[in-house]
Structure 1
Amino acid sequence: MTGTASHVRHRVYQTLENPSRTDRASWAIEIGLILLIFASVTAVALETVPDLFARYRVEFRRFDLFVTLAFSVEYVARVWAAPEARPDEPAWQARLRYMRSPMAVIDLVAILPFYLTLLMPLDFQLLRVLRLLRIYKLTRYSPALSVLMAVIREEAATLLAAFSILTILLIFAAAGAYMVEHEAQPDAFGSVPAAMWWSMVTLTTVGYGDVTPITPLGRVFGGAITILGVGMAALPAGIIASGLADHLHRRRDLLREEFRCALEDGQIDLGEGRKIEKLRRDLGISREIAHSIHQDVRRKQVQRSQCTCPQCGYEFQHIGDEE
Structure 2
Amino acid sequence: MVSVGVVDEPVNRAYDIISTLCLLCNLSAAILATYQGFQVKHGLLLREVERWTVLFFAIDYVLRLLTAKELYTGKTEKGAICAYILSFSGIIDLLSFLPYYLPIFFPSGAAVFRMFRVIRIFRLFRINNYYDSLNVITEVLESKRQQLLSSVFIICILMVASSLCMYSVEHNAQPQVFTDAFSGIWWAASTLLTVGYGDIYPITPLGKLLGIGITFLGVGMVAIPTGIISAGFVEQYQRLKRIGDYGGGSGIHFIHFFLEKKDAWCEKAIKELELPGDLRIVVLKRKNQVIVPRGDVRMHAGDELVLGAEALRDESPLDLTEVVLHEDHPWVGKEIRQLDLSRQTNIVLILRPIPSTGNQGSVANLSTSERKALEENQAQNEHPSPGENGSVGRGRKVRKMLPRGDSKLQCGDTVVLYHNDKRSFLEEHRF
With the shorter chain as reference, the TM-score category is: 0.7 to 0.9
Assess if the C-alpha contact under 8 Å between 1:40 and 1:64 holds in 2. Answer: yes
Please state whether the residue corresponding to 2:201 is helix, strand or coil: coil
Between the two proteins, the alignment pairs up a number of residues equal to 281
Offset of 1:104 from its aligned partner?
Answer: 1.9
For residue 53 of structure 2, the aligned residue among 67, 70, 81 is 67
How has the CA–CA distance of structure 1 residues 211 and 266 changed in structure 2, closer, same or farther, with 3 Å as cutoff? closer
Task: Establish whether residue 189 from structure 1 lines up as the match of residue 183 from structure 2.
Answer: no
Please state whether the residue corresponding to 1:214 is helix, strand or coil: coil
For residue 99 of structure 2, the aligned residue among 91, 113, 120 is 113
Match of 2:225 in 1: 236
Larger helix fraction of residues = 1
For residue 78 of structure 2, the aligned residue among 92, 113, 122 is 92
How has the CA–CA distance of structure 1 residues 278 and 305 changed in structure 2, closer, same or farther, with 3 Å as cutoff? same
Offset of 1:252 from its aligned partner?
Answer: 5.7
Match of 2:39 in 1: 53
Task: Establish whether residue 278 from structure 1 lines up as the match of residue 295 from structure 2.
Answer: no
Task: Establish whether residue 267 from structure 1 lines up as the match of residue 255 from structure 2.
Answer: yes
Offset of 1:220 from its aligned partner?
Answer: 1.0
Task: Establish whether residue 218 from structure 1 lines up as the match of residue 231 from structure 2.
Answer: no
Tell me the TM-score normalized by structure 1.
Answer: 0.72
Q: Distance in 2 between matches of 1:149 and 1:129?
A: 27
Offset of 1:260 from its aligned partner?
Answer: 7.4
For residue 173 of structure 1, the aligned residue among 162, 186, 194 is 162
Match of 2:348 in 1: none
Please state whether the residue corresponding to 1:165 is helix, strand or coil: helix
Q: Distance in 2 between matches of 1:105 and 1:146?
A: 20
Assess if the C-alpha contact under 8 Å between 1:202 and 1:229 holds in 2. Answer: yes
| Superposition RMSD in Å | 3.7
Q: Distance in 2 between matches of 1:259 and 1:99?
A: 42
Match of 1:35 in 2: 21
Offset of 1:119 from its aligned partner?
Answer: 2.3
Q: Distance in 2 between matches of 1:101 and 1:214?
A: 49
1:84-121 superposed Cα distances (whole Å, 9 cap, x missing partner)? 23455432222222222222221112112112222212
How has the CA–CA distance of structure 1 residues 87 and 116 changed in structure 2, closer, same or farther, with 3 Å as cutoff? same
How has the CA–CA distance of structure 1 residues 157 and 88 changed in structure 2, closer, same or farther, with 3 Å as cutoff? closer
Structure with higher Rg: it is 2
Please state whether the residue corresponding to 1:18 is helix, strand or coil: coil
Offset of 1:131 from its aligned partner?
Answer: 1.6
Q: Distance in 1 between matches of 2:42 and 2:155?
A: 46
Q: Distance in 2 between matches of 1:53 and 1:26?
A: 35
Assess if the C-alpha contact under 8 Å between 2:283 and 2:293 holds in 1. Answer: no
Letter in 1 for 2:34: T
Assess if the C-alpha contact under 8 Å between 1:178 and 1:195 holds in 2. Answer: yes
Match of 1:126 in 2: 112
Letter in 2 for 1:189: F
Match of 2:328 in 1: none
1:265-295 superposed Cα distances (whole Å, 9 cap, x missing partner)? 55345643318943499xxxxxxxxxxxx9x
How has the CA–CA distance of structure 1 residues 32 and 259 changed in structure 2, closer, same or farther, with 3 Å as cutoff? farther
Please state whether the residue corresponding to 1:267 is helix, strand or coil: strand
Q: Distance in 1 between matches of 2:138 and 2:32?
A: 28
Q: Distance in 2 between matches of 1:259 and 1:228?
A: 47
Task: Establish whether residue 19 from structure 1 lines up as the match of residue 32 from structure 2.
Answer: no
Tell me the TM-score normalized by structure 2.
Answer: 0.56
Offset of 1:178 from its aligned partner?
Answer: 1.5
Assess if the C-alpha contact under 8 Å between 1:188 and 1:195 holds in 2. Answer: no
Assess if the C-alpha contact under 8 Å between 2:282 and 2:293 holds in 1. Answer: no
Offset of 1:239 from its aligned partner?
Answer: 2.8
Assess if the C-alpha contact under 8 Å between 2:25 and 2:53 holds in 1. Answer: no
How has the CA–CA distance of structure 1 residues 87 and 305 changed in structure 2, closer, same or farther, with 3 Å as cutoff? closer
Question: Which stretch of the first structure deviates more once superposed, 61-70 or 185-194?
Answer: 185-194
Letter in 2 for 1:273: V
Gaps of 5+ in 2: 259-280, 295-305, 320-419, 423-431
Match of 1:6 in 2: none
Match of 1:102 in 2: 88
Letter in 1 for 2:203: I
Match of 1:9 in 2: none
How has the CA–CA distance of structure 1 residues 249 and 215 changed in structure 2, closer, same or farther, with 3 Å as cutoff? same
Percentage of matched positions with identical amino acids: 29
Letter in 1 for 2:282: E
How has the CA–CA distance of structure 1 residues 245 and 47 changed in structure 2, closer, same or farther, with 3 Å as cutoff? farther
Assess if the C-alpha contact under 8 Å between 2:5 and 2:13 holds in 1. Answer: no
Assess if the C-alpha contact under 8 Å between 1:255 and 1:280 holds in 2. Answer: no
Match of 1:206 in 2: 195
Offset of 1:147 from its aligned partner?
Answer: 4.0
How has the CA–CA distance of structure 1 residues 118 and 155 changed in structure 2, closer, same or farther, with 3 Å as cutoff? farther
Assess if the C-alpha contact under 8 Å between 1:140 and 1:146 holds in 2. Answer: no
Letter in 2 for 1:75: Y
Offset of 1:122 from its aligned partner?
Answer: 4.4
Offset of 1:77 from its aligned partner?
Answer: 1.3
Question: Which stretch of the first structure deviates more once superposed, 182-191 or 161-170?
Answer: 182-191
Assess if the C-alpha contact under 8 Å between 1:255 and 1:279 holds in 2. Answer: no
